[in-house]
Amino acid sequence: MSKVNSVSNAKKLAFTGFFSALIFVFTAYLHIPTGAGYTHAGDGIIYLAACILPTPYAVASGIIGGVLADGLSGYVVWIPATAIIKGLTSLCFSNKGTKIISLRNILGIIPSMIICIAGYSFYEGIAMAGGYSAAALIAAFTQTPSYIIQIAASAVLYIASGMALDKIDFKKKIT
pLDDT tens-place string over residues 105-114: 999 999 999 9
Tell me the per-residue pLDDT of 23-50, one tens digit each, with 9 for 90 and over: 999 999 988 887 667 789 999 999 999 9
pLDDT of res. 148: 93
C-alpha 170/C-alpha 156 separation (Å) is: 19
pTM of the predicted structure, to 2 decimals: 0.94
pLDDT of res. 121: 95
Would you mind telling me the total number of residues written for the chain in this entry? 175
